[in-house]
Amino acid sequence: MATAKGIPVGELSRKTGVSTATINFYVNQDLLPHPVKTARTRALYRPQMVERIARIKDFQDRGLPLAVIARILDNPNPAAELGLSGTPTRTTRGPVSLADYLEQTGIDRDVLARLIEADILRPGRDESGLVFDRADLAAGRAAARLLSEGVEIDMILRHNEFQPVSRAEAHFLAEHLAEAMQFEPSQRKATAARAAFATLRDYMRLRELETAYPDWDQPSR
């Protein structure tokens, strides 16, 4: 429960749709200030961190590396500094080469080949070979993060088993977008509806996880 002093990490996670592990990672990367300890096992975050995390997620959706996000996060006009539009738009194929993709995600060629072979990553192609967009970058960074956290590549490749779930969610998302766009179609509304849909789905997965595995975020003994 939020108090006048701040928000516990569990509530901050629910408000932002970001896992507690990711919040701790943001702190370790100096994207968030350390929470204020109120007891030996309890700490509180300032309420402003809800908006700050939303900004971090926005920049990540644009394909920015965390090092760049840390540099511009407190800039009142980061869009002007980086030449970004005010709202993330539909991703386009081709702005990132294979070499740049490997450098920006941190995954190696073997891992990339296996992710593509498993139909988890779906980059485009042109006369020069593979080309990647911002969604490909985000997915590659997510895979790299899982690997760095100790998740084996074979486990990550099992995401292919859930393609029918992804396909069903895509159709469900399309229904949401159709309703959101029926009176005032705009890129802003489509982007906002897609983000809200993702937050709601992530929230429901989190609740299912908490029900099935109440201690999922606690160190194993």
Q: What is the CATH number of the domain that holds 144?
A: 1.10.1660.10
Q: Are residues 104 and 48 part of one domain?
A: no
Q: Are residues 129 and 56 part of one domain?
A: no
Q: Are residues 37 and 114 part of one domain?
A: no
pLDDT tens, per residue, the chain with 221 residues: 445 578 899 999 888 888 888 898 888 888 898 888 888 778 899 989 988 898 888 777 766 777 778 877 877 666 554 544 444 433 434 468 888 888 888 899 999 999 999 999 999 887 778 889 888 988 998 999 899 889 999 999 999 999 999 999 989 989 998 988 888 778 778 888 888 888 899 889 889 999 999 888 776 65
Domain that holds residue 123: 96-212
Q: Are residues 108 and 45 part of one domain?
A: no
Q: Is 88 inside any structural domain?
A: no
Q: Is 162 inside any structural domain?
A: yes
Q: Is 179 inside any structural domain?
A: yes
Please state whether beta strands 42-45 and 36-39 pair in parallel, antiparallel, or not at all (unpaired).
Answer: antiparallel
Q: Are residues 150 and 100 part of one domain?
A: yes
Write out the two tokens for 135.
């969604």
Q: Is 157 inside any structural domain?
A: yes
Residue 132 has a CB neighbour count (10 Å cut-off) of: 27
Please give the order of strands across the beta sheet that includes 124-126.
96-97, 129-132, 124-126
Structure pTM?
0.57
Q: Is 76 inside any structural domain?
A: no
Q: Are residues 198 and 102 part of one domain?
A: yes
Q: Are residues 140 and 41 part of one domain?
A: no
State how far the Cα of 136 lies from the Cα of 133, in Å rounded to an integer: 5
pLDDT of residue 181: 85
Q: Are residues 203 and 114 part of one domain?
A: yes
pLDDT of residue 3: 54
The total number of structural domains that make up the chain: 2
Domain boundary among 22, 38, 63: 63
DSSP state of 33: P
pLDDT of residue 112: 94
Q: Is 218 inside any structural domain?
A: no
Q: Are residues 115 and 203 part of one domain?
A: yes
